[in-house]
């Protein structure tokens, strides 16, 4: 006897002739609405409701903002002492296989199911999770069984509905834990709403595609995150805020800033815009900026290079420290003043940035994108070359001319002429005196 039961239900499923029978109290006539849509007729007890809500709220409270994978600061500062490890290193083929392993990630707040291959999201589907009174439990699970063409049995009447267009379970069932599973539905208009007693509904074409791509044992992660931040393939950071369907997660501007800070763009979204986004909670994407790790002479900086609206912004304090240059800020003129030069700056939430083209003036640094990193190096001081003269003695008009030497020569020539004239006048004066005495 094989048990495959929808969440919150009782009964056993009989496996006969390769077709599974599921006891799941799916309503057969009622068309679900946003306010009241359920996979089952049987309501859970008050104790079951309280336990599910308490478990979900506790799990959500324990969740932390997920930032981009970074090396542990503590590990960098104080690496663990070397320990003899006799364990063999995994073979390259095993490492590659592990990097391509699939995982299902379900976000109840977003009402979406994502399929990952390694760290890459390869599919995204809308779902119909449990309603607020019987929420889908968050946690870490796995696919425990997979079945084609399940038969549904009404526990209140014992009447069975074979696989087909009238079966509330659709044509696929994947158990994730006990009474909870991922399955199809004969009510596609319920997808996108909180509708079930805890199971995950999917459009039939979606669940059939997912069924073929995963195997028994595939990990399933279920979370409740109203804030979702992603970095796209082109390095653009985008964030979403979803409504609080379960009433589990109140959001503040500070909360959202923490999520954005993990991706290096918190300073590039105003608090006013974040507050408006929370009030809307529409689940629509907001594209912030492109972000790149920043390196100066091979050393990784704490903050990142951020490209917004076609302008590359660099953290001025980081560059000043790397270049060993003193830096000041004139808030009145919005100018950055270093010991090497002055250039416009930008104050973004009390963090100073300069434009990439001004880094040379302020810090004698130049940079460019290299393999999705912004790499900077010291720029050598340019030495002024003397003006070129062609064979005819003419100055090359394309060369910059330094007239300071010419002015010096003119002054010297003028002094020499004055001195010569003075001597000549003196001689003339002496001769005239002699002539007078002779006369």
Angle of CA points 152, 154, 158, to nearest 5°:
110
**Does the annotation count 6 as an active-site position?**
no
Residue-level pLDDT at 44:
44
pLDDT in 10s for each residue of the chain, 439 residues: 333 334 333 333 323 333 444 444 333 333 333 233 333 323 344 555 566 666 666 666 666 565 454 443 333 333 433 434 444 555 666 656 666 899 999 999 999 999 999 999 999 999 999 999 999 999 999 999 999 998 776 767 888 888 888 888 899 999 999 889 999 999 999 999 999 989 999 999 999 999 999 999 999 999 999 999 999 999 999 999 999 999 999 999 999 999 999 999 999 999 999 999 999 999 999 999 999 999 999 999 999 999 999 999 999 999 999 999 999 999 999 999 999 999 999 999 999 999 999 999 999 999 999 999 999 999 886 654 554 545 555 434 444 444 454 445 545 555 555 455 555 444 444 444 444 444 4
Helices 253-261 & 271-280 angle (0-180, nearest 10): 110
Residue-level pLDDT at 233:
92
Given 6, 167, 193, 199, the catalytic residue: 199
3-state secondary structure the chain: CECCCCCCCCCCECEECCEEEEECCCCCCCCCCCCCCCCCCCCCCHHHHHHHHHHHHHHHHHCCCCCCCCCCHHHHHCCCCCCCCCCCCCCHHHHHHHHCCEEEEEECCCCEEEEEECCEEEEEEEEECECCCCCCCCEEEECCEEEECCEEECCCCCCEECCCCCCCCCCEEEEEECCEEEECCCCHHHCCCCCECCCEEECHHHHHHHHHHCCCCCEEEEECCCEEEEECCCCEEEEEECCCCCCCCCCCHHHHHHHHHCCCCHHHCCHHHHHHHHHHCCCCCEEEEEEECEEECCEECCCCEEEECCEEEEEHHHHHHHHCCCEEEECCCCEEEECCCEEEEEEECCEEEEEHHHHHHHHCEEEEEECCEEEEEECCCCCCCCCCECCCCCECCCCCCCCHHHHHHHHHHHHHHHHHHHHHHHHHHHHHHHHHHHC
Q: Catalogue all structural domains in the chain, each as residue range(s) with its CATH number.
A: 15-64+95-225 (2.40.440.10), 235-290 (no CATH), 294-378 (3.30.457)
Residue-level pLDDT at 243:
97
**Does the annotation count 199 as an active-site position?**
yes
CB-CB contact of 176 with 182 (8 Å): yes
Residue 287 to residue 215: CA distance in whole angstroms: 35
Residue-level pLDDT at 53:
63
Residue 118 to residue 360: CA distance in whole angstroms: 41
Residue-level pLDDT at 300:
96
Given 6, 167, 183, 354, the catalytic residue: 183
Q: Which of 239, 363, 375, 240 is nearest to 312 (CA)?
A: 375
pTM greater than 0.75: no
């Amino acid at each position: 006897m094989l048990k495959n039961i929808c969440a919150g239900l009782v009964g056993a499923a009989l496996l006969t002739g390769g077709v599974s029978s599921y006891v799941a109290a799916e309503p057969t006539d009622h068309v679900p609405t946003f306010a009241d849509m359920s996979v089952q007729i049987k309501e859970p007890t008050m104790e079951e409701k309280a336990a599910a809500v308490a478990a979900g709220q506790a799990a959500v409270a324990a969740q932390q903002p997920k930032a981009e994978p970074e090396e542990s600061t503590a590990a960098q500062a104080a690496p663990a002492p070397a320990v003899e490890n006799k364990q063999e290193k995994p073979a390259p083929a095993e490492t590659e296989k592990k990097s391509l392993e699939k995982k299902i990630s379900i976000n109840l707040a977003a009402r979406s199911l994502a399929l990952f291959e390694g760290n890459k999201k390869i599919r995204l589907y809308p779902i119909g999770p449990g309603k607020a009174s019987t929420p889908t439990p968050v946690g870490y699970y796995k696919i425990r069984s997979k079945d084609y063409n399940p038969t549904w049995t009404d526990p209140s009447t014992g009447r069975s509905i074979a696989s087909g267009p009238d079966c509330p379970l659709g044509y696929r069932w994947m158990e994730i834990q006990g009474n909870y599973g991922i399955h199809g539905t004969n009510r596609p208009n319920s997808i996108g709403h909180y509708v079930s007693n805890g199971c995950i509904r999917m459009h039939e074409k979606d669940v059939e595609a997912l069924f073929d791509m995963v195997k028994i044992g595939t990990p399933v992660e279920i979370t409740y995150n109203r804030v979702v931040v992603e970095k796209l393939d082109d390095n653009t950071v985008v964030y979403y805020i979803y409504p609080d369907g379960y009433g589990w997660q109140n959001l503040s501007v500070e909360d959202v800033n923490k999520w954005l800070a993990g991706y290096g763009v918190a300073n590039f979204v105003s608090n006013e815009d974040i507050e408006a986004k929370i009030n809307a909670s529409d689940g629509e994407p907001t594209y912030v900026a492109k972000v790149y790790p920043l390196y100066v002479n091979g050393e990784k900086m704490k903050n990142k290079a951020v490209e917004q609206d076609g302008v590359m912004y660099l953290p001025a304090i980081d560059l000043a420290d790397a270049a060993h240059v003193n830096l000041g800020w004139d808030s009145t003129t919005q100018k950055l003043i270093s010991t090497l030069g002055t250039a416009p700056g930008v104050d973004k939430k009390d963090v100073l940035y300069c434009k990439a083209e001004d880094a040379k003036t302020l810090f004698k640094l130049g940079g460019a994108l290299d393999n999705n990193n912004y790499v900077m190096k010291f720029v050598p001081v340019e030495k002024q070359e003397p003006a070129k003269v062609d064979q005819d003695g003419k100055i090359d008009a394309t060369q910059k001319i330094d007239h300071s030497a010419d002015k010096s020569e003119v002054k010297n020539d003028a002094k020499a002429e004055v001195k010569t004239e003075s001597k000549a006048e003196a001689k003339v004066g002496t001769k005239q005196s002699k002539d007078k005495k002779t006369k």
